[in-house]
Structure 1
Amino acid sequence: MSLSTPSPHRRVVAVTLLIPALVALALWAFAWPAARTAPRDLPLGVAGPTAATAPVEQRLEHQEGAFDLHHYADEAAAREAVENREVYGAVVVTGQGPKLLTASAASPVVAQLLQQAVTQQAAASGSRVTTVDVVPAAEGDPRGAVLSASVLPLALAGIGAGAAVTLLGLRGARAVAALAGSATLVGAAAAALAHSWLDAVPGNLWTVAGTFALAALAMGATVAGLAALLGRAGIALGGLVIMLLGNPFSGASSAPEMLPEPAGAIGRWLPPGAGVSLLRSVSFFDGAGAAGPALTLTWWAALGLGAVLVGGALKERTRSARSASGREPVPAG
């Protein structure tokens, strides 16, 4: 038996310990954010004259750390801020009582939370709240379930593409072409289902397909790039980052500001979270707020594909060096 081959007893111990560790990690990654869902510096607008909005701001600020308040002069400015994804909603103080502007397209969970919070505060002061959904969710998906559910298939597609490229021995330009081609088809299939069939993601069909494709490419390139540099261990590392961090930390079912820190911050910078944010922007907000997540996905894709090319070049150089050394003539004795 080779000295580098683990004994059967060590393999049994490794499997016995590894599986429970992975289960514990998965439970922590998925259950912890879900159990600690609550607003944390959630951007919320307050519109109206300063004297009139001061009591409302004081009541909202009483919930320490829950809201990040932005003041606007009037309803028009607050509505524009909601449409530009600067805030999730806004409380407009009027002579007839408070008016709540929401955007269920940004997050149905947040829209419902704001409605409950503002309604309770208004009831305490004896007034009623008028709610206006400025940017509503799709009629075919009012709760955002389809959009939230799209994160897992995209993550699986990215991990699968990166693993397949590695295990099939594709390198360099061929690996890049395979990843790009796979992501393009994934984007087309996802758009056909979510946009055309389920009517859950409106907007321009080709823009939606491109968003799905870019997210899939970023995840696939990440896995393939890590594998090109680290070997097959890179597949496991990339899969863990995307599936056990990127998926539950994406905030797809609520919002990044609803997750405990640092989960919300981490999720914004990983491909699944950036993909969901970009999809919301291009589908419901005419591209408002799309620059940040689009740049994040582009960097992940570029770094991953770059690692694929570098790793392939290094392996080719190593192979060439070994071949050259094997052909060296043996000097005469």
Structure 2
Amino acid sequence: MAALIDGYGRRFPYLRLSLIEACNFRCSYCLPRGYQPRPGLAPLLTVAEIGRLVRAFARLGMSKLRLTGGEPSLRHDLSEIIAAVAAVPGVAKVALTSNGVLLQRRIAEWQAAGLTHLNVSVDALDRARFAAITGHDRLPQILDGIERALALGLTAVKLNAVLLRGLNDDQLPAFLDYVRTRRVGLRFIELMQTGDNLAYFRRHHYRAETLEQTLLAQGWQLHPRAPDAGPARDYAHPDYAGHIGIIAPYSRDFCAGCNRLRVTAAGDLRLCLFGNAGIPLRQLLQADAQANELQATLISQLGLKAAGHGLHRGETGVTPHLASIGG
């Protein structure tokens, strides 16, 4: 059977599917003025279109699906989407990345629909600092939602924190205390330059490798990476129940282990988060009879995937901000 393999021998068992560009947060590193729809924005993929898309990827070897945004919980049909993709043969993991505002009310519903993995954006554990970064004073509500997710027994629950010099780079002790007794993953993400954040990037960029050196000095040890894992380098410590992942897009070998593809909320395939073009797939998602053509298109487009991004050269591609494609 044909598989998702590019010209560099990399396999792609992992798909990140954006469900919506809109977000109800105003994170300073992404949408500091709040979400503003772009002119001519195409309609969102329907549940039926999403089902056809995911079935095509699964037939080619995709086994892990992450639903992202924007904020995917803004989709009123999110539970229906989760149920549809969880039912696709070959899909073993259905993950959601969210700001966590609706977790208290809906995490049990999402798990019942088929959600197995959850990532929640938590950029600080200090309430005032969290509000300053995100534009919303919702930290207690979000942390309670995370506790509910942990109590439900999802396969994995992770927290995502964007590293920001001068804003949350002093939060490591609080984060370490949090993972000492909780079986959660904590992922620190190095701030990336996008099309509209150059001044912010220069002011707040903090090298992830600096944090890694701190962890190593404190006895944390690097663990092997699973074939369908995300881009994080995972560290564990015998004194902590949780683990820490570092996503360092500016590290020298970051793209060598790329194993994920992206599709936007309007159905454009993105071979790279910072690529220069999207490949429209929507016209191939209108009927089940188009499945073979869709799969052939995915295979042929992978032959065009570049060896790596151009972030080191300041090339951010067509990504204006991370909400536009799902980070």
In which range does the TM-score fall when normalised by the shorter chain? under 0.3
TM-score by length of 2: 0.25
Q: Would you tell me which structure has more helix in proportion to its own residues?
A: 1
- The structure whose RCO (Cα within 8 Å, separation 6+) is larger is 2
